[in-house]
Amino acid sequence: MNLRNVKRFIMPALGIILAAGFFGGCTKKDDASGVAELKVGMECAYAPFNWTQTDDGNGAVPISGGGYAAGYDVEIAKKIADGLGMKLTIVKTEWDGLLPGITSGKIDAIIAGMSPLPERLESIDFSDAYYVSDLVVVVKKDGPYANAKNLTDLSGARITAQLNTFHYTVIDQIPGVSMETAMDDFPTMIAALSADKIDGYVSERPGAIAASVSNPNLSFIVFDNGFAYTADDASIAVGLKKGSEHTGKINEILAKISEADRNKMMDAAVEQHPALD
């Protein structure tokens, strides 16, 4: 921008900055519509919670930079953005970049199947839970651990989970387990399992259902006596900047989504998700 155009942009820019302050410090107005923008970060690679596709089918919304995102998290994000009167923008972000994205202002909210663990609460705030799930282990349908019922049945198994998740921390509850190096994402774990590089990986039940539907050679174990973890560990919530003015309103929005509606949205996401491989 040359100097003679600077004044023309100063006052509009100030208006945008003031609006951003009102909406929690990191939100801006969309230039085209004038509506405040809610930038939501997610991997777009964790079906059925979120995934990437090439069109706007299944209620998908555009991803900043190209493509479309759909899934349970996207449906929750749409309800939150509507309730806040804001324009939803999905920002595709690697898992390890989500927390820094909040603290740096790159994104306004994390809606990505993230649990409000104590270590995360040190740097960001969380809403009330928008989904609660149980943990299972995904295995090969014809593998040596396909008939496991209890954690002891996995003794000697090579088990992993996604990097920097509480899923990985529960693996050592399996007696005699071979705890493998954590992996970056679920497609990587599915590929490793299919190639017999691991015997299984820890997952939330919806993700396991999606993986087994897409990959007929896979199944998952629902334990009679499974992993020990807290309700917060099993809960999924919206991550927000410390002191965000959005938190209270988001909790009001989430409270209006019935359990039946949440289950309906998850069932639809499981049915609609693309192949995971």
The neighbouring-strand residues paired with 92 are 42
| Token pair recorded at residue 182 | 């954590």
In the chain, CATH 3.40.190.10 sits at 16-132+233-272, 135-221
Residue pair 186/276 in contact by the 8 Å Cβ criterion: yes
User: Which CATH code for domain 135-221?
Assistant: 3.40.190.10
Give the CATH fold of the 16-132+233-272 domain: D-Maltodextrin-Binding Protein; domain 2 (3.40.190)
pTM as predicted: 0.75
Main-chain phi, psi angles of 41, to 5 degrees: -95, 135
DSSP 71: S
**Distance from C-alpha of 95 to C-alpha of 162, rounded to nearest angstrom:** 9
Which residues have a Cβ under 8 Å from the Cβ of 162 and sit 6 or more positions away?
95, 168, 182, 183, 184, 185, 186, 189, 201
Question: If you write DSSP's letter for every residue of 137-196 in order, what string do you get?
Answer: EEEETTSTTTT--BGGGGTT-EEE-BTTSHHHHTGGGSTT-EEPPPBS-HHHHHHHHHTT
Please give the pLDDT value at position 240. 98
Biggest distance spanned by C-alpha atoms of the chain: 73
75-105 pLDDT per residue, tens: 999 999 999 999 999 999 999 999 999 999 9
Assign residue 42 a region (left: φ > 0; alpha: ψ between -120 and 50; beta: otherwise).
Answer: beta
Please give the pLDDT value at position 225. 84
Task: List the chain pLDDT tens, one digit each, 277 residues.
Answer: 443 343 333 334 434 333 344 334 444 555 556 789 999 999 999 889 999 999 999 999 999 999 999 999 999 999 999 999 999 999 999 999 999 999 999 999 999 999 998 999 999 999 999 999 889 999 999 999 999 999 999 999 999 999 989 999 999 999 999 999 999 998 999 999 999 999 999 999 999 998 998 899 999 999 988 999 988 888 999 999 999 999 999 999 999 999 999 999 998 998 888 765 4
30-66 pLDDT per residue, tens: 555 678 999 999 999 988 999 999 999 999 999 999 9
101-107 — which CB contacts under 8 Å span 24+ positions? 101/41, 102/41, 102/239, 102/240, 102/241, 103/241, 105/25, 105/26, 105/241, 106/39, 106/41, 107/26, 107/39, 107/40, 107/41
Give the pairing type, strands 178-179 and 158-160. parallel
Please give the pLDDT value at position 23. 39
Please list the alpha-helical segments (H only) found in 195-258: 205-214, 231-234, 247-255
